[in-house]
Amino acid sequence: MSGILGPTRPIGVTVVAALVWIGAVMDVVAGILVFALLGAPELAEEYGGTGGLVSLAIASILFGVAAFIVGFGLLAGNPVARLAITVLELFSIGISVWHFAIDPNAVWSELVSILIAIAIVGLLWVGDAGRWFRQLAPDEPDDPKLR
């Protein structure tokens, strides 16, 4: 379906942007909480000392801020934003597999994380989303020679 200004954004892309923003906020909050836990020696030891915790906190906050910004690109139909989120989600899947490998008790939380990442990638690359990111109306042919 086409809007007045061009193709209408598929609901799946809007859902993905919302999920990205929720995850981004969670990353920023997690980073802030890690900063708050710097005084816990057992946690610091687990992450290679206080420096490891500080690095983790900063990375989490930066990752969250970057993902939040990229979410706006998804809503605008920016193909670079779609690729960036895809790479981040594939990285997230890798981290989940690694986390499960070192902590088998995390199987369910990591499985949920993996399934959400797969859903996000699927919603961005399958069906109407592909046409949206190429700025094609649903009735517009994919082949530029036919337009």
Residue 73 within any structural domain of the chain: yes
Neighbours of 77 (CB within 10 A): 19
Torsion, Cα of 118, 124, 129, 133 (10° steps): -160
Q: What is the mean pLDDT of residues 113-130?
A: 89
Residue 81 within any structural domain of the chain: yes
Per the prediction, the chain carries an average pLDDT of: 83
121 pLDDT band, cuts 50/70/90, is: very high
**What pLDDT is stored for residue 101 in this prediction?**
79
81 pLDDT higher than 80: yes
**What pLDDT is stored for residue 68 in this prediction?**
93
Q: What is the mean pLDDT of residues 19-25?
A: 91
Residue 1 within any structural domain of the chain: no
128 is in which domain, residue-wise?
8-139
Answer for the pair 2, 8: CB distance below 8 angstroms, yes or no. Answer: yes
Residue 101 within any structural domain of the chain: yes
39 contacts: CB under 8 Å, gap ≥ 6: none
Per residue in 32-75, pLDDT (tens digit) is 988 887 777 776 676 666 777 788 788 889 988 999 999 999 99
Max avg pLDDT among 14-18, 57-61, 93-97, 105-109: 14-18
Residue 147 within any structural domain of the chain: no
Answer for the pair 10, 133: CB distance below 8 angstroms, yes or no. Answer: no
